[in-house]
Amino acid sequence: MASEMLYPIMPVFLKHIGFSVLLIGILEGLAEAVAGFSKGYFGKLSDASGKRLPFVQFGYALSAISKPMMAVFIYPVWIFFSRTIDRLGKGIRTAARDGLLSDEATPQTKGRIFGFHRSMDTLGAVIGPAIALVYLYFNPFNYQMLFLLAFIPGVLAVVCTFLIKERKKERINMVQLKSVPFFAFTGYWKNSPVLYKKLIAGLLLFALFNSSDVFLLLKMKESGLNDTAVIAVYIFYNLVYAILSYPIGILADKIGLKKILLFGFIVFAMVYAGFALTNNLFVYILLFGCYGLYAAATEGISKAWISNICKKSETATAIGTYTGFQSIAALLASSLTGLLWYKFGSVFTFTLTAIISVIVVIYLSAINPDAAQPDEQI
């Protein structure tokens, strides 16, 4: 909730303290690059150490500390440093957290486990921006205090992680652990199961055209909607996402992860096609509701599928490798989308994204989820 409280406010705050759009882009690009590479490395390190919880605790702690840091100084270098600390925290905890979730699930329950996590995580994305919206309504432009307030849920999240008990695992050779290089996770790709490579190839193609949600919000602004309406629609999207994630996870366990994932990508294509064709507020609301459905059907489900086709001892590495490459692809996607928008306009850009999504659906449809099984039993 702490990070999501600041997500829709961050661009406004940065503009308020004098950041140009170019500088904001560089900041977010650097932050996502740090998060992307660190997800893979710390996922590999988590598997190598046989531990999950220390990475989760340290990652959440770093992100919590970064919040008040941005309230202290407004110098560009300090803001870059603070934002990088926040994304580094995300990179450290993500793969280990997903590995922890996978460790506590069976192949038959992973859809609901990952779905429940996404539901709770996204509930924070509803409550956080709502609190920020109310606070700024009564205290306009007092952004520094908002960063200090965001520190409170950040600390509570860290405290909650100490209530978790991790299953005991075999002790790891520390000499072997220290020898893990930063880009060791990329080596997993060479020795990963064929099914993993096929799945990740499709997901990364999709990620290369799945740009930041900022462009959807920008399309609404382009249509004449005010800031309050844009943020309200964003909150509605997260509310739908939060409500549907868990029941969709249960459904995925019953009818298959692949079917739900493909359905989600089809909904995504319809949403982007809709954004290419409309300028109506009520249609935007409907589309963002569908966008929440897409997110609920893909985010946790894709990780659940990945965890089912890799060894249990390599779960964090497998998910970290994917999320690391996904972050880099997302950075490229936003740059590509910005260029296409500038050259050809939003209609062409969103239409192309919808077409690529359909191609990904066709590609993934040919993958047999039962074609290969991990060597270790989960």
Delineate the domains of the chain, giving CATH numbers in brackets: 2-164+184-365 (1.20.1250.20)
Find where tokens 């603070």 sit.
82
* Averaged pLDDT of the chain: 83
Cα-based torsion angle of the residue sequence 28, 33, 36, 38 in order, rounded to the nearest 10 degrees: -120
Give the CA angle between residues 267, 32, 93 to the nearest 5°: 90
Mean pLDDT of 189-196: 86
Enter the DSSP assignment of 8: T
What angle do helix axes 281-308 and 110-138 make, rounded to 10 degrees? Answer: 140
What band does 334 get if pLDDT is binned at 50, 70 and 90?
Answer: confident
CB 43 within 8 A of CB 185: yes
The residue assigned the tokens 């050259």 is 343
> 20's torsion region: left (phi>0), alpha (psi -120 to 50) or beta?
beta
Tokens coding 104: 């506590």
Flag whether pLDDT at 207 surpasses 60.
yes
Output the pLDDT for position 377. Answer: 40
Q: Look at 313 and 92; give whichever has higher pLDDT.
A: 92
Q: Which residue has the tokens 């004098």?
A: 18
Amino acid (1-letter code) at residue 318? A
Running DSSP on this structure, what letter comes out for residue 187? G
Residue 284 identity? Y
218: CB partners within 8 A, 6+ apart = none
Kindly indicate the confidence band of residue 183, based on its pLDDT and cuts at 50, 70 and 90.
low
- Among 30-34, 53-57, 315-319, the range scoring the smallest mean pLDDT is 30-34
The 8-class DSSP code of residue 4 comes to H
pLDDT at residue 311 is higher than 90: no
Q: Is the pLDDT of residue 171 over 60?
A: no
pLDDT in tens, 120-144: 888 887 888 888 878 877 887 788 8
| Of 104, 124, 106, 119, nearest in space to 247 by CA | 119
First CA to last CA across the chain, in angstroms? 31
Residue 96, pLDDT above cutoff 50: yes
The type of residue at 319 is I
Report phi then psi at 267, rounded to 5.
-60, -40
Residue 372 clears pLDDT 60, i.e. is over it? no
In this prediction, residue 168 carries a pLDDT of 67
The pTM for the full model equals 0.76
The per-residue pLDDT for 197 is 92
Interatomic CA distance for residues 99 and 15, integer angstroms? 37
Structure tokens at 88: 């580094």
Burial 339-372 (b: 16+ CB within 10 A, else e): ebbeeeebeebbbbbbebbeebbeebeeeebeee
Looking at the predicted structure, is the pLDDT value of residue 235 above 70? yes
Listed ranges 222-226, 269-273, 321-325; the one with the highest mean pLDDT:
269-273
Residue 213: predicted pLDDT: 81
> How confident is the model over 356-372, as a mean pLDDT?
86
204, 326 contact by CB (below 8 A) = yes
Residue of 279 and 202 predicted with greater confidence: 202
Q: Record the tokens describing residue 118, joined without a space.
A: 């996404």
Q: Comparing C-alpha atoms, which of 22, 28, 42 is closest to residue 332?
A: 28
Task: Calculate mean pLDDT across residues 230-235.
Answer: 81
| Candidate from 132-146, 176-190, 224-238, 297-311 with smallest mean pLDDT | 176-190
Q: Is the pLDDT of residue 21 over 60?
A: no
Amino acid found at 375:
D
Nearest to 212 by CA among 371, 64, 80, 333: 333
Distance CA(63)–CA(353), nearest Å, equals 32
Residue pair 324/37 in contact (Cβ under 8 Å)? The answer is yes
Max avg pLDDT among 93-107, 275-289, 300-314, 325-339: 275-289
